[in-house]
A and B are shown apart, each in its own frame.
Chain A
Amino acid sequence: MGPGFAKWIITVAFCWLIQIASGNSVEQKIYVELNNTVPCVRLLNATHQMGCQSSISGNTGVLHMLETDSDLDIILRTGPHAPYMVLMDAGFFNSSIMLRMKNSTRIAGVAVVIPNSGPLEGFSPHNTCPNQHTGVYSDSYGPRLADCNGTIWNRLGNGLSFEDFKFPIFSLKDDNQTGVIRKCVSDHNMGVNGSTPAFPLCAMQLFSHMHAVTSTATCMRRNDIQNNYSLNPETVCDPLGDYNVWAPLRPINSTEKGHKANESVVVAATRLDGRTFFWDIATGAEGTVAGFVTLLAASQALKLTARQAPPPRNILFAFFQGEAFDYIGSSRMVYDMENNNFLIDLENVHSVLEIGQVGLRRGSELWLHTDPVSRRNDTSVNTEVEKLLKNMTSVAAALSLSLAEPNATQPLPPSSFQRFLRSRQIPGVVLADHQSAFNNRYYESVYDNAAYLNVTYPSDLTPEEQLVFVTDTAKALAEVATLVARSLYLQAGGEDSQLDNITADPNIVTQLLYGFLIQSNNSYFRSLTNPEDKSLLESQAPQYYVGVPITANTIKRSTRMVQYLLANYIGNPTSLNQSKCQDPSGMPGESKELYSYLWVRGANGSEPSPFCVRSTVRRTHAISPAFELKQYDSQTYSTWTESRWKLIRARIFLVASHELEMLTLGVGLAVLLLSLFVTYFVSTKADLIFAPAQESTGTAY
């Protein structure tokens, strides 16, 4: 026993206290963090900011469940606890209610519980005329068709994605966590028999403070100023963009850019991205995936015949990224072609066949959309278009598909092909499942998912069994892919007699749909990708919002996946080993100028048998030319940027009444003042109070 023992006791006690504090902190006792949320964030274009944001210290409000119209009245007019945090089911998430809330000062924020399937009547937060100002139709080109005058493509569009909300909006999945919130609300915020509920009340706090404001012009200017003058530069927004994936069927030398003599190319195009109201969730089953899966399957179907009986013209498979945001990818490729910065230029483009939304056919019908203006103005274009239409119709006759053309005066639907037409009168067709307005009732919304495309499986299947289960959707899309592949072959000048050899495989289509709509981490995708690329595959549906590159070298997962698949489908395995695969220069027959090389896992049963794929697949930047040209208020090119933020967070907790909070503060202050006074008193009278004690210690020594 001695001072050592006392020290030991103190240390133990201290450690114990720290353990208590960290394992069971005050914060954890007060707040319940909500982890499974997705915010709506701020996006900006040349002229506007849109999306949502909270204040810098988060928005807090008492939760109120929006279930009936009278709830809306309480929230917006009569309730005593404004501002409110509104918890609503997706059914209330429509433009009339959201716009009323937008104009109210009594809203602190909104949390929407999103179910798996959408409302029957349809829901699309996009506008009615997608990419209205950056398509081909304008005052100088088919003025009567501009601004969707000819056809309203997205009738159900309510434009919510283009509104600027001054409060945060988060989406919640219908899961346990939502149950916790609902329980908190029903336990604390429901008054007995409709009376005003008593404190403490259940409240929610949402953080989504956005750094960029006003417009892309403003935020890019601030980026520049910060980078040039500030000691501590802080970027406030980033241009949306990623990479286009493309591959010519026959290799074209990549060292020389610009016009290629004797090269005539049929472009087979589709888009790789979609969007929704919320950030970084966009499953885009019909809007995006159906199209590019069809083109991937078509490329696979073409490969063998194209090698045995190569058609005279080349075919360029092009997957454009960022098309949902004013055609980022296609406008960039056309811009590169115009500036001799691409393998070929626009003169080399013979024609374009684009795959639009093809997953929701009514019966057996598919529609061939063409551009009435170029067909009217230019007879040679018209002849080529008619030839293409005739080719496709004859191909379809052999399949169980029926093709039809919409009204001859109807403009093209929103499509990448429009960006080609802006620069040059090129013959082309957009293949889609809709005659005029989209069949897609959930265009660019969270409900455009696997279930909507009918990619569903019997419940008793394991994931690997689901992977190979051929759904009806897969069969239907395989037919479309066959049509596309055969049409491309004919369009490239191939022989009719070869057509029967070109057939897309439903087994491949179904695996593609599974990988791109259910989960990409499956044995099929694993066998076609590089096993060292750990971050590539995920055990959920990939998202197709184009987003911003996190670092300069980041590439979206879906982009890389499409690149791997396309390389496997149109490329050939080689005998190169892994290190030679990265740099095959000097090997006989190999050339980095003509080909790109990818190392893939392969599959021999369940065992890997890795090999090197040689293909013509490449990636180029899909960043809008507006950012190259520094024209941040461009009317021609996409100017979309995404704001940066520091913190996205959602949590619930119980709040006390304002009176109680003030009382607590008041008592605290009183105690502080009292203790100050006592200390002062004691220190002035110290001589009197402590004198005897000093004497006693004095005697001890």
Chain B
Amino acid sequence: MNLERVPNEEKLSLCRKYYLGGFAFLPFLWLVNVVWFFKEAFVKPAYDEQPQIKTYVKRSALGLLFWIAVLTTWITIFQHLRGQWGEVSDYLSFTIPLGVE
């Protein structure tokens, strides 16, 4: 969808949908929201719906950062310690790498 051709009210409703959707443990929606609406929120000349879009984009970005932090920490810990955890890490893994502890 090309945002250029969409009326402003619809932009706002789209942006809100993506923002709310992200709460369903879908951080990628927030990522899309941030990338897609960044120009609308911060670059375009002001219009009525812009302040609200701005808040949604900011909050999406915040949530995205939170997810990145959590996932990075977990992945780092898991990859480092999976060998030591033994049984637990096998049950946590979807694909068990071959020939690795």
Binding site for B on A (CB under 8 A): 53, 56, 209-214, 218, 221-222, 225-226, 229-230, 234, 236
Q: Decide: B99 and A56 in contact? CB cutoff 8 A.
A: yes
Ordered by A's residue number, 17 sampled pairs between the chains whose C-beta atoms are within 8 Å are: A209-B99, A210-B99, A211-B98, A211-B99, A212-B99, A214-B86, A214-B101, A218-B90, A221-B87, A221-B90, A222-B90, A225-B90, A225-B91, A225-B93, A229-B94, A230-B94, A236-B96
Q: How far is the CA of A236 from the CA of B90 in the complex (A)?
A: 13
Q: Decide: A222 and B99 in contact? CB cutoff 8 A.
A: no
- Using CB atoms, name the residue of chain B closest to A644: B98
| CB of B39 to closest CB in A, whole Å | 28
**CB-CB < 8 A to A211: which residues of B?**
98-99
| CB of B101 to closest CB in A, whole Å | 5
Q: Decide: A230 and B91 in contact? CB cutoff 8 A.
A: no
**CB-CB < 8 A to A209: which residues of B?**
98-99
* Cβ-defined partner of A213 (8 Å) among B91, B94, B101: B101
Q: Is the C-beta of B76 less than 8 angstroms from some C-beta in chain A?
A: no
Residue-wise, chain B 25-67 has the 8 Å CB interface mask toward A (1 for contact) of: 0000000000000000000000000000000000000000000
**CB-CB < 8 A to A53: which residues of B?**
99
* Cβ-defined partner of A236 (8 Å) among B86, B87, B94, B98: B98
Q: 8 Å CB contacts to A: which residues of B68-101?
A: 86-87, 90-91, 93-96, 98-101
Q: How far is the CA of A56 from the CA of B98 in the complex (A)?
A: 9
**CB-CB < 8 A to B98: which residues of A?**
56, 209, 211, 234, 236
* Cβ-defined partner of B95 (8 Å) among A56, A214, A221, A230: A230
| CB of B80 to closest CB in A, whole Å | 17
**CB-CB < 8 A to A234: which residues of B?**
98
| CB of B100 to closest CB in A, whole Å | 7
Q: How far is the CA of A230 from the CA of B98 in the complex (A)?
A: 14
What are the 5 closest A-B residue pairs judged by CB atoms, nearest first? A211-B98, A213-B101, A211-B99, A222-B96, A210-B99
Q: How far is the CA of A222 from the CA of B94 in the complex (A)?
A: 11
**CB-CB < 8 A to B101: which residues of A?**
213-214
**CB-CB < 8 A to B99: which residues of A?**
53, 56, 209-213
Q: How far is the CA of A236 from the CA of B100 in the complex (A)?
A: 11
**CB-CB < 8 A to A214: which residues of B?**
86, 101
**CB-CB < 8 A to B94: which residues of A?**
229-230
Known: A213-B101, A221-B87, A230-B94. 9 other contacts (CB 8 A): A56-B99, A209-B99, A211-B99, A214-B101, A218-B90, A221-B90, A222-B96, A225-B93, A229-B94
**CB-CB < 8 A to A236: which residues of B?**
96, 98
Most buried by A among B86, B95, B96: B96
Q: Decide: B95 and A218 in contact? CB cutoff 8 A.
A: no
Q: How far is the CA of A213 from the CA of B96 in the complex (A)?
A: 11
**CB-CB < 8 A to A230: which residues of B?**
94-95
Q: How far is the CA of A41 from the CA of B15 in the complex (A)?
A: 58
Q: How far is the CA of A56 from the CA of B94 in the complex (A)?
A: 20
**CB-CB < 8 A to B100: which residues of A?**
213
Q: How far is the CA of A56 from the CA of B99 in the complex (A)?
A: 8
- Using CB atoms, name the residue of chain B closest to A210: B99
Q: Decide: A218 and B91 in contact? CB cutoff 8 A.
A: no
| CB of A248 to closest CB in B, whole Å | 45
Q: How far is the CA of A213 from the CA of B100 in the complex (A)?
A: 6
Q: How far is the CA of A226 from the CA of B90 in the complex (A)?
A: 10
| CB of A40 to closest CB in B, whole Å | 15
Q: How far is the CA of A456 from the CA of B91 in the complex (A)?
A: 56
- Using CB atoms, name the residue of chain B closest to A221: B90
- Using CB atoms, name the residue of chain B closest to A646: B98
Q: How far is the CA of A211 from the CA of B95 in the complex (A)?
A: 13
Q: How far is the CA of A651 from the CA of B98 in the complex (A)?
A: 23
- Using CB atoms, name the residue of chain A closest to B96: A222
**CB-CB < 8 A to A212: which residues of B?**
99
**CB-CB < 8 A to B96: which residues of A?**
222, 225-226, 236
- Using CB atoms, name the residue of chain B closest to A213: B101
Q: How far is the CA of A516 from the CA of B91 in the complex (A)?
A: 46
Most buried by B among A210, A213, A222, A226: A213
- Using CB atoms, name the residue of chain A closest to B87: A221
| CB of B34 to closest CB in A, whole Å | 32
Q: How far is the CA of A380 from the CA of B63 in the complex (A)?
A: 82
| CB of A215 to closest CB in B, whole Å | 10
Q: How far is the CA of A213 from the CA of B82 in the complex (A)?
A: 13
- Using CB atoms, name the residue of chain A closest to B95: A230
Q: How far is the CA of A213 from the CA of B86 in the complex (A)?
A: 11
Q: How far is the CA of A230 from the CA of B90 in the complex (A)?
A: 12
| CB of B26 to closest CB in A, whole Å | 23
| CB of A57 to closest CB in B, whole Å | 12
| CB of B91 to closest CB in A, whole Å | 7
Q: How far is the CA of A230 from the CA of B95 in the complex (A)?
A: 8
**CB-CB < 8 A to B91: which residues of A?**
225
| CB of A561 to closest CB in B, whole Å | 35
**CB-CB < 8 A to B90: which residues of A?**
218, 221-222, 225
**CB-CB < 8 A to B93: which residues of A?**
225
| CB of A15 to closest CB in B, whole Å | 41
Q: How far is the CA of A210 from the CA of B93 in the complex (A)?
A: 19
Q: How far is the CA of A229 from the CA of B86 in the complex (A)?
A: 18
Q: How far is the CA of A212 from the CA of B101 in the complex (A)?
A: 9
| CB of B32 to closest CB in A, whole Å | 28
Q: How far is the CA of A234 from the CA of B96 in the complex (A)?
A: 9
| CB of A571 to closest CB in B, whole Å | 47
Q: How far is the CA of A212 from the CA of B99 in the complex (A)?
A: 5
Q: How far is the CA of A681 from the CA of B20 in the complex (A)?
A: 48
**CB-CB < 8 A to A225: which residues of B?**
90-91, 93, 96
Q: How far is the CA of A222 from the CA of B92 in the complex (A)?
A: 12
**CB-CB < 8 A to A213: which residues of B?**
99-101
| CB of B79 to closest CB in A, whole Å | 16
**CB-CB < 8 A to A210: which residues of B?**
99
| CB of A646 to closest CB in B, whole Å | 8
Q: How far is the CA of A211 from the CA of B87 in the complex (A)?
A: 17
Q: How far is the CA of A211 from the CA of B101 in the complex (A)?
A: 10
- Using CB atoms, name the residue of chain A closest to B93: A225
Q: How far is the CA of A509 from the CA of B86 in the complex (A)?
A: 52
| CB of B33 to closest CB in A, whole Å | 32
Q: How far is the CA of A213 from the CA of B101 in the complex (A)?
A: 6
| CB of A150 to closest CB in B, whole Å | 37
| CB of A526 to closest CB in B, whole Å | 42
Q: How far is the CA of A230 from the CA of B97 in the complex (A)?
A: 12
Q: How far is the CA of A236 from the CA of B98 in the complex (A)?
A: 7
Q: How far is the CA of A210 from the CA of B95 in the complex (A)?
A: 17
**CB-CB < 8 A to B95: which residues of A?**
230
| CB of B73 to closest CB in A, whole Å | 25
